[in-house]
Amino acid sequence: MSSTPAKAMDPQPAKTNDGKKKVVAVVGGGLVGALNASFLAKRGFQVQVFEFREDIRQAEVVRGRSINLALSLRGREALKHIGMEEKIISKGIPMHARMIHSISGKQSPIPYGKKGQYILSVDRANLNKELLTAAEAYPNTKLNFGYKLLDWSCDSGMMTFQGPNGTEEEIHADLIVGCDGAFSAVRKQFLRQRRFNYSQTYIPHGYIELTMPPINGQFAIAPNFLHIWPRTTFMMIALPNLDKTFTCTLFMPFEEFDKITTGDQALEFFQKYFPDAVPLMGVAALKQDFFQFPAQALVSVKSSPHHMGDRCVLMGDAAHAVVPFYGQGMNAGFEDCIVFDDIMDQFNEDLSAVLLEYSKMRVPDDHAIADLAMYNYIEMRSHVNSRWFLFRKYLDNFLHRIMPRTIIPLYTMVTFSRMRYHEAVRQWQWQQKVISRGLFLCGTTSAIGGTYLLIKLFGMRPSISLEQLWNRVLALKWF
């Protein structure tokens, strides 16, 4: 349910001066565009969605950027706003914990939190289809497939599309919402704007997706988990699907992908790093599927502001593509839609004020999640193997247990709350400080106490001066 306040006295802001409904063009009918169409249709705008691909509901094969995704609280809240939460979660598979696979094949579960704290594995294609169908149900929404945005003008609101039969079409809109993904065509115009900040970073890792089939009609590994094989330089993650398969995503530097050119090398690689997965995936399938598609690149994009004048705004990956190492890309894009919707209420759909406020509000949070995801990528590839992963999570959980209100794990704030991303980061930095101060205090107290006992009880004399000792403590850099 949206919390739209009564607007009895407003001159119906969803309409232009001459009383016509304002036209909003949503460019891109991916996850965020399709969801946003419903948000905007609910407000009474005349919504036109332009999607480059054909209608995926009619397509035979859909190849997106990943087969399934982890849906968490932020994404769920957005779905709830358009009445789609139940429909989507009924087809999602709850993951209550991670399952860490060590090289020896040992599996260790680590819960995400309390009973109700779980994430869901959802099918990207199904989610996209359901969202398109929900948007289409509004009489004031039209979906246009096979329309590729070529160019647009902020001054006039005119967009040039390449239509389904190859001809160019000019279309006008009062508001253009760019939801056209990480390589956004809408964003191109932004680059020519004064004082627009933009950064784009490709990480050295790419990914391929492999399928783990069911065994005797059952999931090959426990279904209600996010399976992780952390191997420092390499990492594999597996999410369950409704057809009892798992989609395994292997992350690895392109340099390493390049070294593997034959089926036997692929098998050898898997036997070395993911031996327990080999019989489950099947030797023959592994040798083939490894080369079915070339490894895909991963890009991180930041931009600010997210809007241009009173005519155009970017949302989802178009505004902030993040690397997938927090499972938040779609969730953040979905939350964008809630934030925009709230600001539309707050500013009575006065677009120039709304867009300005939206950027002001959302840029710090989108930057924060982009940074967090990148930080986690760097951390995982530099020293996270299965033992380290388990140790860190046990430590975090232990600290949370002894100080439940002071120390909350970062992933909990990100995944299971709607605390603003930038505030979660700030809270986390503060917690780190509390922890290191605590450790420091414990360390120095026991060192001083120990020294005192040695001298007092055993008559020992320290072999180094107090000053030297102090300098050694400082060198530990626990601050």
* Shortest distance, position 201 Cβ to ligand FAD, whole Å: 14
409 binds ligand FAD (CB under 6 A): no
Of 337, 268, 346, nearest in space to 82 by CA: 337
Interface size with ligand FAD, residues (CB under 6 A): 34
User: Which residue in 118, 229, 274, 325 binds ligand EGU (CB under 6 A)?
Assistant: 325
107 binds ligand EGU (CB under 6 A): no
119 binds ligand EGU (CB under 6 A): yes
Nearer to ligand FAD, 14 or 130 (CB): 130
* CB closest to ligand EGU, residue no: 327
Among ligand EGU, ligand FAD, none, the one that 415 touches (CB under a kind-dependent 5 to 8 A) is ligand EGU
Non-local (6+) Cβ contacts of 125 within 8 A are 56, 62, 64, 67
CB atoms within 10 A of CB 338: 19
Sheet holding 225-231, edge to edge: 107-111, 97-101, 225-231, 234-240, 246-253, 197-212, 296-304
* Interacting residues with ligand FAD between 78 and 137 (CB under 6 A): none
Amino acid at the residue 1: M
Strands (E), 191-233: 197-212, 225-231
Longest distance between any two alpha carbons in the chain, whole Å: 95
* Interacting residues with ligand FAD between 331 and 350 (CB under 6 A): 331, 333
C-alpha 151, offset from chain centre: 28
270 binds ligand EGU (CB under 6 A): no
Alpha-carbon distance of 129 to 436, in angstroms, equals: 48
Q: Which stretch binds ligand EGU (CB under 6 A): 66-74, 197-205, 424-432, 470-478?
A: 66-74
* Shortest distance, position 68 Cβ to ligand EGU, whole Å: 6
Alpha-carbon distance of 452 to 475, in angstroms, equals: 22
User: Which residue in 28, 33, 206, 327 binds ligand EGU (CB under 6 A)?
Assistant: 327
Alpha-carbon distance of 215 to 171, in angstroms, equals: 52
User: Which residue in 98, 205, 231, 306 binds ligand EGU (CB under 6 A)?
Assistant: 98
What is the SS3 assignment for 176-202? Answer: EEECCCCCCCHHHHHCCCCCCEEEEEE
Q: Which stretch binds ligand FAD (CB under 6 A): 176-184, 301-309, 341-349, 446-454?
A: 176-184
Give contact residues for ligand EGU (rule: CB under 6 A).
66, 69-70, 98, 119, 226, 228, 237, 239, 249, 324-327, 376, 380, 411, 414-415
Give contact residues for ligand FAD (rule: CB under 6 A).
27-33, 50-53, 65-66, 69-70, 147-149, 179-181, 185, 207, 249, 316-318, 324, 327-331, 333
